[in-house]
Amino acid sequence: MNKRAYSLDELLQGLAAGRVVPVDEEDWAAWAAGFTVVATVGSTLGGDKRIVRWPVPGSRRRGWGLVEEPEPGLLAVRPVRDAREARALIAERLAAYERMWDG
């Protein structure tokens, strides 16, 4: 993962540059109002997966992202092209978790 974001501006700049941005869960809670949650998918491992949208700085368009919890207290905000790509990534994660249970 890349450099952790310590401000909402750092987070948005990292996403606009196409980087996965680590964020402390407490910081995310403070910044979450700037994002629209499109869908939440529960998971027994890795916490809930959230598909989000946000305003792209300097643009009229909105970006797409996937928010995951790689470790307790830390979130990874990953830019994606669209909801379809986000859902495909979630499906990959869930399939991997299922395979872990199968041994």
In this prediction the pTM is 0.86
Question: Which ranges of 1-103 would DSSP assign to H, the alpha helix?
Answer: 8-16, 25-31, 83-102
pLDDT tens, 51-89? Answer: 999 988 788 889 999 999 988 899 999 999 999 999 999
The per-residue pLDDT of the chain, averaged, comes to 88
Instruction: Read off the pLDDT band of 26 (50, 70, 90).
Output: very high
Distance CA 41, CA 57 (A): 27
What pLDDT does 88 receive? 94
Give the separation between CA 97 and CA 67, rounded to whole angstroms. 17
If you average pLDDT over residues 3-21, what whole number do you get? 92
Please count the other Cβ atoms lying within 10 Å of the Cβ belonging to residue 91: 12
Q: Give the C-alpha distances (Å, rounded to integers) separating 101 from 94, 95, 98.
A: 11, 10, 5
